[in-house]
Each structure stands twice: as C-alpha cells, then as structure tokens.
A and B are shown apart, each in its own frame.
Chain A
Amino acid sequence: EPEVTQTPSHQVTQMGQEVILRCVPISNHLYFYWYRQILGQKVEFLVSFYNNEISEKSEIFDDQFSVERPDGSNFTLKIRSTKLEDSAMYFCASRRLAGDVGELFFGEGSRLTVL
C-alpha cells in the first residue's frame, strides 16, 4: 500500500541552526501539506502546496519557513533559524483529489528537538 514517507524520524539541533525535513508524498497525489504538533497540543496547519506552488499558509509559517518540491517527488520543509518553540512533531500529508474531497494521508512524522 502506498504511503507517505518522512525523514529524519528524529532530529536534534541547536537553536539558530537550519533544519530540512523531507517527505515523499504518495505518487499520484495532488495536494501536499505540512502540519506540526507541539507535544500535548493540536495538529496545526502550516502550509499547503499544489501545482508546484504554495496554495495556502498559516500565520505560523513565517519567513523562517520555506517549502520546496525540488525533483517532483520530494517535498521539503526548511526552517532557517530554529527557535526553542519550533520543537514539535512535523507531519507531512498528501491528498489525491482536487477540491474539497479526499482524505489526508500522513507520514509518520519528524520529531524536531531544538536545544
């Protein structure tokens, strides 16, 4: 069964360092998302990506965040200068259908710990 894969599963970094989280969405899916979940809190939307560009971003997704789809399969989230409060689980998700139908499929997540 096709699945969304994410790497790394866990990354520990120092405050101020750059981090890149990688995702390989399901191949025939059209929409891609990054969500984050701070421990004990809700799953929060960061950004959506469709047709090779950002379609929507939340207020959390400020200038220190960026996304790319460099080669048609990988979908990356970059955090330029990490802060302590960026410590969270970051989930990549993809959705097959256009419009407002079709469920999200999630990767297993990348746990980011900023020291």
Chain B
Amino acid sequence: RKEVEQDPGPFNVPEGATVAFNCTYSNSASQSFFWYRQDCRKEPKLLMSVYSSGNEDGRFTAQLNRASQYISLLIRDSKLSDSATYLCVVMASGGSYIPTFGRGTSLIVHP
C-alpha cells in the first residue's frame, strides 16, 4: 500500500472556483504534514504546514483528520497563478524523520 496517496487529477477549474484536494497516508505514526506547490520543472515550495486544529492562509485552508488519516487543501477564489501541482508531504515520528511525498495533484485554472 502506498504511503502517501493523492488523486493525480488534473483538476480543471475556472477562475474564481473553489477546489479541494485530499491526501491519505498509511503510517499512523505520522506527525508532521505539509502542502507543497510545484511548478513545472521547478523545485517544490512550501505552501503551508498542516496543524491538528486546521489552519488558513488567505485563500488556502488545510485540514487534518487523524482518525481517517487524511489531510485536505481547499483553495477558494482560484487564480490563474494557482495552476501547479500540489504535493502532500507526510513525516512520521520515531526514528528517521523522512518527509515522504505524494505523487501530487495537478490543478489547471482557466479563464
């Protein structure tokens, strides 16, 4: 079973739409969670960390559901510049602390 799973998409949405991505993880010892954004042929860049209580940064909201072992990212009022691949990253406690990446979800925002 894959450690971190994401729907690869693409999600094709019009400007102004609200879009949500989910990510599931298999390791129940996971403690740290992040969403990264990756533009084509560029490095991943941190979008936001995901806290147990959920957190919001402008148009972006991240949620964590430990019982169901998934995290989510909600983007409101999508902009053309939001077009990118969104990577879910999970890190487990107890030893090696290796951030593990999901395959990413592709978002295309069109006019």
Contact = CB atoms under 8 A, between A and B. Distances in A.
Interface residues of B, number: 27
Candidate in A33, A93, A106 with the most chain B CB atoms within 10 angstroms = A106
Contacts of B97: 31, 48, 99-100
Contacts of B98: 33, 45, 48, 56
B96 A48 contact: yes
Contacts of A109: 42-43
A51 to B, nearest CB: 13
A103 B100 contact: no
A106 B44 CA distance: 7
Contacts of A95: 99
A114 interface: no
A107 B43 CA distance: 7
A107 B45 CA distance: 9
Given A100-B91, A106-B45, A108-B42, 7 more contacts: A56-B95, A89-B41, A99-B97, A100-B31, A101-B31, A103-B46, A104-B99
Interface of B: 31-32, 34, 38, 41-46, 49, 87, 89, 91-104
Interface of A: 31, 33, 35, 41-45, 48, 55-56, 89, 91, 93, 95, 99-109
